[in-house]
Amino acid sequence: MMIIKDEHYISEGLARKCYYHPDNNNLCVKIGKPDVEVLHLYKEINYFKKIKNKDTSRFDYQFYAEYHGEVETNLGTGFVYSLVKDETSQDISLTLRHYLEMKEAPFKDDIFVKALDRLKLQMIKHKVFVGDLRARNICCKILADNSLELIVVDGLGHRDFLPFADWFTFFAKKKVERRFLRSNMHSLSAQRDLIKRVRATGATII
């Protein structure tokens, strides 16, 4: 059984806690919080099973953190993912939420706009959908040449009964664009406003 200790803790969302994999610092292990329904945790896992045969060599870049399966841990069932790290420092990449809240971010806004556009195009082209599109679920990976790649670390999947978007690019495009709009991810000012509103409610996980 894998033993996870407090020292492995990275961060958490509403549903899961995220830890370093104790034997491989390029991976993380996510554990469901006690009051979270198991079914909720498996929604994303089932979607990963569905998309596992995508030809990732056709991706412009790996735009979501890959899922590597389940593991039994001292804290319960763990779900293993690739850990997103900056090439420049090997630190865990900050999320888009971190950068959008910075007074003086190290990247200009148009860098984020372009990176978001690139991410959106990959989702459409490869028909990989993100239901829970939030700034805290997107890591900003800094590459060696100081450019940015946005990588989705949580919230993949969709609940369409008739998944036309899985089959036709026309519907995939409509679906992704609608999701960006509804999630206020179509403009940085809309996303910053949303983050401000959520922060003003006193929430700790933004």
Ligand X SMILES: Nc1ncnc2c1ncn2[C@@H]1O[C@H](COP(=O)(O)OP(=O)(O)OP(=O)(O)O)[C@@H](O)[C@H]1O
Beta strands (DSSP E) in the chain are: 9-12, 16-21, 24-32, 67-73, 76-82, 138-142, 148-152
Q: Backbone phi, then psi, for 180, in 5-degree steps?
A: -60, -40
- 20: alpha, beta or left? (left if phi > 0; alpha if psi -120 to 50): beta
CB of 74 to Mg ion, least distance (A): 23
Distance CA 195, CA 199 (A): 6
Q: Which of 154, 172, 175, 183 binds Mg ion (CB under 5 A)?
A: 154
Q: Does 137 bind Mg ion (CB under 5 A)?
A: yes
Q: Does 175 bind ligand X (CB under 6 A)?
A: no
Q: Residue number with the shortest CB distance to ligand X?
A: 13
Site string for ligand X, 2-41 (x = CB under 6 A): --------xxxxxxx-x---------x-x-----------
Amino acid (one-letter) located at 144? A
User: What's the token pair of residue 149?
Assistant: 């790649």
Q: Among Mg ion, ligand X, none, what binds residue 15 when CB lies within 5 to 8 Å by partner kind? A: ligand X
- The distance in angstroms from the start CA to the end CA of the chain is 33
Amino acid (one-letter) located at 63? F
Tell me how long the chain is.
206
Q: Which stretch binds ligand X (CB under 6 A): 77-85, 101-109, 156-164, 170-178?
A: 77-85
CB of 205 to ligand X, least distance (A): 6
Q: Does 126 bind ligand X (CB under 6 A)?
A: no
For the chain, the farthest-separated pair of C-alpha atoms sits apart, in whole angstroms, at 47
Answer whether 133's CB lies under 8 Å from 185's CB: yes
Q: Does 22 bind Mg ion (CB under 5 A)?
A: no
With respect to ligand X, which residue has the nearer C-beta, 28 or 188? 28
Binding residues vs ligand X (CB under 6 A):
10-16, 18, 28, 30, 65, 81-84, 92-93, 95, 132, 134, 136-137, 139, 153-154, 205
